[in-house]
Amino acid sequence: MRSEAPPQPGGLERFVSTGKGRGLRARRRYAVGELLFSCPAYAAVLAVSERGSHCDCCFARKEGLSKCGRCKQAFYCNVECQKEDWPMHKLECSAMCAFGQNWNPSETVRLTARILAKQKTHPERTQSEKLLAVKEFESHLDKLDNEKRELIQNDIAALHHFYSKHLEYPDNAALVVLFAQVNCNGFTIEDEELSHLGSAIFPDVALMNHSCCPNVIVTYKGTLAEVRAVKEIEPGEEVFTSYIDLLYPTEDRNDRLRDSYFFNCDCRECITKEKDKEKLEIRKLNDPPSAEIVRGMIKYARNVIEEFRRAKHYKYILCLTLTPLARELLEICELSLDKMGAVFADSNIYMLHMMYQAMGVCLYVQDWESALRYGQKIIRPYSKHYPCYSLNVASMWLKLGRLYMALENRTAGVKALKRAIAIMEVAHGKDHPYISEIKKELEDH
């Protein structure tokens, strides 16, 4: 999946965006689906959960990967990938052997260690930094509260604890800045079903500002980020991506933006809030609920989403082998759906959120019929609430297609997979390996 260095993005320019600081602007017209530019990862780290199914170097998904002979925990396509990854893997190889099961730095710590190593071995500007250098990243250090500062200090302690042999550390103040930069500018690499594969730094991609009405989308081909137009872009127009999940209403989106990126969005969607009414649709009842009841239910929904997130982190992620805990998570989903359903319509985004979580648990315990029922309820509202060419919608069609196929409903499966392909050909490009894989699934069935 490795590619040659991407061409210079000559149709784009860095500029000062009013009220936003640095930004990216088009110098020519781009059509829907056209590749604006690609950017190799400055540094990337594969999620521990994906080891053995993906190459630690290029993130290719394949069977028969070869493992590192020493730590036996990193896997590669071939000798070439192993050699290419060694400058990064050596940061962890001996430590994993020494710590054994106690080796557990966070993905952020692992990524930051690789950035430090890269800065030492490649002090010059890299192919990933044609428009923006890593050292130019915004840290928003002055906006960090005590909790965020404490979390960074915990990460710094872990960095010192797990990485001592092959790293030279700057002083604590410089590490605080670097971790703050990684938190604001890091990217999550996901597969075609939006499952987490790893984390990376793509400097030129980080130059783009946020909008809840984005005109481009970022997808991944291994450890290469690709930026494609999802709307027509005219010369002089700023290039906007989305930093967050766009399903949620304006207040929720801006809460997330303030918490993670320290700004409010002033895009057309945030100013008009024109989609909020549909996203917060109330069930049609003879005796409509009062505004106070609706506000109370929204508060309940936000709290249960946070409760589920924490439960999923501590129970589902850490104890994947324990099916009863997955059932407990499913019960949380079902109870909250019953309560919210007394007020909210099924298309309400808080209902959709819990249905999506429930679907994920059903997929984990291989309850295909229940997963399909949730997916069928989700897909139409998703298609309405999300922008055109949304990866979330494509992912849901893909999951539905594969579920239909597994349950031997080929007609519905083919239809769903073709809908996924139609979106992905714009977002990922027609030659993406994921699309080839899905087309092969259609042929095999």
DSSP states of 190-239: E-TT--EEEEEE-HHHHTSEE-SS-SEEEEEETTEEEEEESS-B-TTPBP
Q: State which amino acid sits at residue 225.
A: A
pLDDT bin (cut points 50, 70, 90) of residue 2 is: very low
- Return the sign of the alpha-carbon dihedral for residues 336, 340, 346, 347: negative
Flag whether the pTM goes above 0.85: yes
Better pLDDT: 309 or 211: 211
Q: What is the pLDDT of residue 319?
A: 47
Q: What's the CA angle centered on 363, arms 358 and 365, to 5 degrees?
A: 95
Q: H or E element: which one contains 13?
A: strand 12-17
Mean pLDDT along residues 418-442: 97
Q: DSSP class of residue 143?
A: G
- Return the sign of the alpha-carbon dihedral for residues 11, 16, 21, 22: positive
With a pLDDT cut of 70, the percent of the chain lying above it is 95
Taking only the tens place, the pLDDT of each residue in 154-199 is 999 999 999 988 899 999 999 999 999 999 999 999 999 999 999 9
Evaluate if residue 323 carries a pLDDT over 90: no
Q: What is the pLDDT of residue 380?
A: 97
Q: What is the pLDDT of residue 14?
A: 96
Domain boundary assignment for the chain: 10-41+202-262, 263-444
Taking only the tens place, the pLDDT of each residue in 68-114 is 999 999 999 999 999 999 999 999 999 999 999 999 999 999 999 99
Cα distance between residue 151 and residue 149, in whole Å = 5
Contacting residues for 200 by C-beta, under 8 A, at least 6 apart: 41, 42, 43, 44, 45, 111, 186, 187, 189, 223, 225
Query: Crossing angle for the helix pair 79-99 and 146-162, nearest 10 degrees?
Result: 100
Q: What's the CA angle centered on 304, arms 299 and 309, to 5 degrees?
A: 130
Could you tell me the two tokens for 349? 């985004």
Where do we find the tokens 């170097």?
57
Evaluate if residue 251 carries a pLDDT over 90: yes
What is the CATH code of the structural domain delimited by 10-41+202-262?
2.170.270.10
Q: What is the pLDDT of residue 327?
A: 80
Q: How many helices and strands, by DSSP H and E, does the chain display?
A: 15, 12
Burial class (CB in 10 A: 0-12, 13-18, 19+), 133: middle
Cβ of 174: how many Cβ atoms within 10 Å? Answer: 11
Question: Among candidates 397, 53, 399, 4, which has minimal Cα distance to 197?
Answer: 53
Question: Among candidates 376, 304, 310, 372, which has minimal Cα distance to 344?
Answer: 304
With a pLDDT cut of 90, the percent of the chain lying above it is 89
Q: Is domain 263-444 in CATH 1.25.40.10, yes or no? A: yes
Cβ of 118: how many Cβ atoms within 10 Å? Answer: 19
Evaluate if residue 6 carries a pLDDT over 60: no
Q: What is the pLDDT of residue 3?
A: 39
Evaluate if residue 416 carries a pLDDT over 50: yes
Contacting residues for 251 by C-beta, under 8 A, at least 6 apart: none
Where do we find the tokens 């700004």?
263
Better pLDDT: 324 or 381: 381
Residue 200 half-sphere exposure toward CB, CA atoms < 13 A:
31
Evaluate if residue 45 carries a pLDDT over 90: yes
C-alpha distance from residue 268 to each of 213, 275, 278 (Å):
7, 11, 17
Mean pLDDT along residues 142-150: 96
Mean pLDDT along residues 417-422: 98
- Residue 240, classed as helix, strand or coil, is strand
pLDDT bin (cut points 50, 70, 90) of residue 321 is: very low
Evaluate if residue 317 carries a pLDDT over 70: no
Cα distance between residue 195 and residue 197, in whole Å = 6
Burial class (CB in 10 A: 0-12, 13-18, 19+), 411: exposed
C-alpha distance from residue 111 to each of 150, 182, 188, 201 (Å):
19, 8, 11, 8
pLDDT bin (cut points 50, 70, 90) of residue 4 is: very low
Q: What is the mean pLDDT of the chain?
A: 93
Contacting residues for 184 by C-beta, under 8 A, at least 6 apart: 137, 138, 139, 140, 260, 261, 262
Question: Among candidates 142, 91, 149, which has minimal Cα distance to 115?
Answer: 91
φ/ψ of residue 87, rounded to 5 = -55, -25
Evaluate if residue 7 carries a pLDDT over 80: no
